[in-house]
Amino acid sequence: MSEANEPAAPRGERIAKWLARAGVASRRDAEKLLTEGRVRINNAVITHPASFVQPGDLVTVNKKLVDPPARTRVWRYHKPDGLVTTHRDPEDRPTVFSKLPPELPRVVSVGRLDLASEGLLLLTNDGGVARALELPSTGWIRRYRVRVRGHVDPAALASLAAGVVVEGTRYGPIEAGLDSRKGENAWLTVALREGRNREIRRVMNHLGLEVSRLIRIAYGPFLLATLPRGMVEEIPAKILREQLPGDAGDGGSAPKRQKR
């Protein structure tokens, strides 16, 4: 067979995606590492995100060897309030990642919960999968139990299903219902697909309600259930495969769209 007819050698995997799957950084942050000249393949500095990693290549970041991506794993974590969801906090506040068991590999969070929020936080060793699970286009619903102070107007809650504009920011549809009320405090169940920074707090404040407690009880098909505060539990590989069809470690596989 002539060289012209020989099949082309596989190109491997794009370096930014490879680094994300290895848990080094998100794809966006990996691309920043590239532009800063901090990534090498086989001791050659790589600056372009279209560079490819082949099996057996040696990849270093900041001159430290990076292990090849392991199989995709996802954990449920019951985040207590008082922790920030970041690896390093400039204000030196306690972080989620500083409180995780030492035997866990390096993980990234799927979305965030702010300092005062608690409940279910998904963790994964695959940055690409984390990004895929965060996208509103996956259709995964985030559910919360929310304690508020103030007068709850059921009609105002129902109107959130059409979306709402708060201080110039447009928020998508939010399902909110009143569960119970005692004096000036009430418990709501709130569900949304996007989950922007402090979205629930800002929307409730827009309705004249002060959020005093916010607990995420579900992220897509994964539930907080009875997981104790501060505990981590890995999602079984079989269940993960059912929710991430195809190659779960690919980082680009879309989760199954959640039925309403």
Q: Cβ of 67: how many Cβ atoms within 10 Å?
A: 11
In the chain, count of helices (H) and strands (E)?
A: 6, 17
Closest by Cα among 219, 200, 187 to 77? 219
Closest by Cα among 161, 1, 5, 198 to 85? 198
Output the furthest CA–CA distance in the chain (Å, rounded). 84
- Tokens in use for 58? 């040696």
Cα separation, 123 vs 75, in Å, equals 5
Half-sphere exposure of 40 (CA within 13 A, CB side): 11
Q: Cβ of 247: how many Cβ atoms within 10 Å?
A: 11
Specify the pairing of strand 142-149 against strand 222-223: unpaired
Cα separation, 1 vs 244, in Å, equals 40
Catalytic positions are 114
Residues in CB range of 243: below 8 A, 6 or more apart: 220, 221, 255, 256
Relative orientation angle of helices 127-134 and 27-35, to the nearest 10 degrees: 130
